[in-house]
Amino acid sequence: MDLSPTRQNLRDQEAHERIQDERPTKKARLEDGERTDNMIQPRKTTKQKQKLSKRALQKILHHEPGTPGDVLWHEINELLGRNIVDDAIVAGRDLEASVQFGDILELDVVEISSTGDSLSILPAPHPPWVVATPFSLPGERIRVKIVRNGRMLSHADLLGIVQSNQALRDDSRVKCRYFGECSGCQYQMLDYATQLDFKRHVIQKAYRFYSNLSAEMIPSPSPTIASPLQYGYRTKITPHFDEPPKGKARSAWIPWIGFDSKGRRRVLDIEECPIATSTLNQALGPIRKEVQEQIDNYKRGATLLMRDSLATIPQQDGDETHVCIRDHKAIVRERVGTTLFEFPANSFFQNNNSVLVPLTDYVREAALSVPADGKTKQPTHLIDTYSGCGLFALRLVDSFDRVVGIEISEESIRYATHNVKLNGIPEDKCEFRAGQAERIFEVVQDFPPKETAIVIDPPRKGCDDKFIEQLLSFGAATIVYVSCNVHTQARDVGKIVSGGRDYTVESIRGFDLFPQTAHVESVREFPSVSSLEA
C-alpha cells in the first residue's frame, strides 16, 4: 500500500518542529532523576554543540503519569529491556538518535502501542531504539520517514506497506476517505473482533505497568464488550479551524475546517466523519459553509461544538427526532434505555449512546455482586461520585433503596436534580449533594458503609490521593471504578488494594465506547473492588 502522491506532497509541504537529538545539560538530567527510584545516574556530559530549549527538554523528559508519552516510555522499557534503557541513560545516549529528520528506511513492526501506533526496533548497526509509526500493524514490513526524535524513540510517517499482515489488514474495511491522514481513528483496517482483543491487551499492559500489584492479584481482563454501533455512533464532535492569516493573504484565504492531521500541527479539512452520527454529518456541510462565508467575523481560530440531541422529550417509543446543537449553553437531550437526561451542551456526557445501556447494566451487576459466602448482604445504598448529570445514579436507582450522587459542580447538581424529576423518581430515593474535595464523603454520613456500593467515574487524570484516603476511610462494601483512562485507573486501583482495607480486585472488563480508535473504557470491581474501562 503506497500513499498517494497528492497526500505525500501535502505532507512534505508541512514544516515540522524538529527536536534535536542531543543530550540535555547535566543539571537538567540530574533534576529529572532518570528513574523514580533515583538509582540511575547519568554520566557527565561533554560540551554541547547545540542546545535544546528548556521547553523541548521538559516535553521529552517529563510526562504526567498515564499520559500517552508516559505510556510510551513504559512500552519502550519493556520492548528494549530495562537494562538496555538504563545503560543508555547512564551513558548519556538516551537522546542520541542514530536517525535524523527526513531519513527513510524499512522496518519490521513488533507490536502495537496502547496509543494505536506501531512500534518497531531499529535494526543493526543502529543501537537499540524504538520507532513509532501510525496506521501499521504487527508483522508488517513498512517504509517510513523519520519526522522527530525523542528519548529512546523516534516518530515516523508511514510512506507505504512493503509487506502487509494479511491475517490482520483488510483495507477494504476502511470507510473514511481521510483515514491515514486524520488523527481520529487508528483501526479501521482491522476486523472488529481484533480491535476488541487489542483493547483487552491495552488493559493488561496498563495494570502491569501502573498498578504495582503482583500478577496473582490482578485477574485477567474479561473480553471487551462491543459497541452496538461501530460507525455512526459519536454524538459529539468538535471540528475546528486555524487563525486567519493577516494582511493581503486574508482576502483569498479559505479556512480548512476539520480535525488534527496525524503528526502535524495543522487542521485537516473534513467534509464528513463516518464515526459521527448521521445527524451531525448532515449538519456539518451547512455549518462549514456558514463559517466560510462569515470568516471575516473571526479574529482567531475557533472550535465548533456539535452535539446530537433529541429535539424534544419523546412522548412514546420511537417518537424521536434528532437535531444538532451548536450553542454551548443550549440544552441537550439524550435517552439511555428508558432514562431521559437533559444537560448543557458544554458539559460532559458519554459520546457513544449506543453502548450506555450495556455499560450501566454491567455497573449495576458489579455494584450488587457479593461474595458467595452466604454471609454478605447485597448493598442497599449507592453513592455515585463524580456524578455529573446523573448517568449511573439514575440508571441504577431501581436496584437500591437510596441513591446519592456527589458532585462539586453546582450546575451539574442542578441538572442531575432536574433529571430526577424528569424521570419521575421520588426525591427521597435519589438526590444529589454538593461535596467539597477535601471532605467529599461527609455529605453521606447517613449511609451505612457496609450496606453501600460506590461508583467512581473520574476524569482522565484519575483520583487524587486525598480522595482515595477518604474512600478507604469510608469503607464501602463494594467499589466499582469506571474509567476513560485505564492507566490512571490501574494506578488508583493499586493504591486502593494496598490501602489496608482488604479490598481485592474481582474483575476487570473493557467497554468499547470508541470503535475504530485505540481508546478503551474500563470497569473494575472490588469487594470487593470492580473496575471498568470505557
Give the containing element (helix H, strand E) for 357. helix 356-368
Q: What gap in Å lies between CA 214 and CA 88, rounded to an integer?
A: 28
- Angle (CA) 364-367-373 rounded to 5° is 125
Q: Of 484, 506, 525, 533, which residue is the catalytic one?
A: 484
- DSSP bridge partners of 132: 119, 155
Question: Is 521 one of the catalytic residues?
Answer: yes
User: In the structure grid, which three cell numbers stand for residue 239, read together?
Assistant: 471540528
Q: What gap in Å lies between CA 461 and CA 70, rounded to an integer?
A: 13
- Tell whether omega for the bond before 125 is within 30 degrees of 0, i.e. cis: yes
- Angle (CA) 91-92-94 rounded to 5° is 110
* N-to-C CA span, the chain: 32
The string of DSSP letters for 91-132 reads HT-TT--SS-TT-EEEEEEEEE-TTS-EEEEPPTTSPS-EEE
- DSSP bridge partners of 340: 335
Q: Of 181, 407, 506, 521, which residue is the catalytic one?
A: 521
CB proximity list for 343: less than 8 A, separation 6 or greater: 331, 332, 349, 388, 389, 415, 419
The amino acid at residue 225 is: I
Question: Is 484 one of the catalytic residues?
Answer: yes
Show which residues are catalytic.
Answer: 484, 521
